Every structure is written in C-alpha cells, then in structure tokens.
Homo-oligomer: A and B are copies of this chain.
C-alpha cells in the first residue's frame, strides 16, 4: 500500500497521541501540549493552521501541524511534526514537510520557521531539516532546560 497524505482531522487524535508517545522523543508534558496544539489545529475555526496526516494501510503513521505566525506578513511556523518509529527512515517526514510547505505557499506564506532541540539525540531531526533546505538562524542557550539549547531553523520558500 502507498503513502497517503491528507488533511489532519479530529478523528486522528488518538493515533496522533500514540505516534507521539511511541516516538520516545517527548515527555508526558510535551505530549499533552502537542495534543493541545492538535486540538487547535483541527478545530472548525482553525483558519490559521495547516495540518496534514500521513496514512498507510488505513492507519496514521505521522502528522505535521503549523500555523501562520502572528505579527508577520507571510511567515509560518511548524509547531509539531512526528513520524511513528515503525515508519521512520522512509521519507514520511519529508513528504509531510513538502505537503506543509505547498499548503503554506498556496496560502501566501513565503517562509517557514521551526525550532528544535540542540541536544545530541536530536541530531537526526536537525539533519532532517538541513537536508530539506532549512538553515540555522539562531541558537538560544539552555532554551528548553539547562543543557538543552533551542535551535531555530528557517526556510525561504521563494
């Protein structure tokens, strides 16, 4: 079966939570916050969001959600991207990112910002963004917690 990309929906909440937990990358608090963002992004009134699911064999294997950045003319943020461990390494994250970028572009967005951790165990995430054309434009010392910098990535869609 192939990979299907579609709009994220409220019915995906449980599968999204499972993917977040299975990834092992997030604390319980982070999963709770991610699901709060999920709820905002899949609400009927969520006009400032873009959120997509990756589905395979009828099941959700990953999702991305982001939104337009307040106070900016055409900048968007990726808030969350997650691929279930059983589906990692097969280009699902890349496909989700490209679908997100296409949606941003079609809605007048021109650049995307994403923050991720500077920890050694996030090196894969950082390389993922770099390979997708994002470049580092900032690094906030101890942002998440002592020893855990926040790294700011940026991509110009033009």
Contacts and interface: CB of A to CB of B under 8 A. Distances in A.
B140 A33 contact: no
A75 B113 CA distance: 19
A140 B156 contact: no
Interface stretch (A52-60, A66-74, A87-95): A66-74
A142 interface: yes
Nearest to A69: B143
B113 A142 contact: no
Contacts of A140: 75, 113, 137-138, 152, 154
A155 B149 CA distance: 13
A123 interface: no
A72 B145 contact: yes
A114 to B, nearest CB: 11
B70 A145 contact: no
A16 to B, nearest CB: 17
Interface of A: 29-30, 33, 69-75, 110-111, 113, 137-146, 150, 152, 154, 156
28 contacts: A33-B70, A33-B71, A71-B144, A72-B143, A72-B144, A72-B145, A72-B150, A73-B144, A73-B145, A73-B146, A74-B145, A75-B140, A75-B143, A75-B144, A110-B142, A110-B146, A111-B141, A111-B142, A113-B143, A137-B138, A137-B139, A137-B140, A137-B141, A138-B138, A140-B152, A141-B154, A141-B156, A142-B156
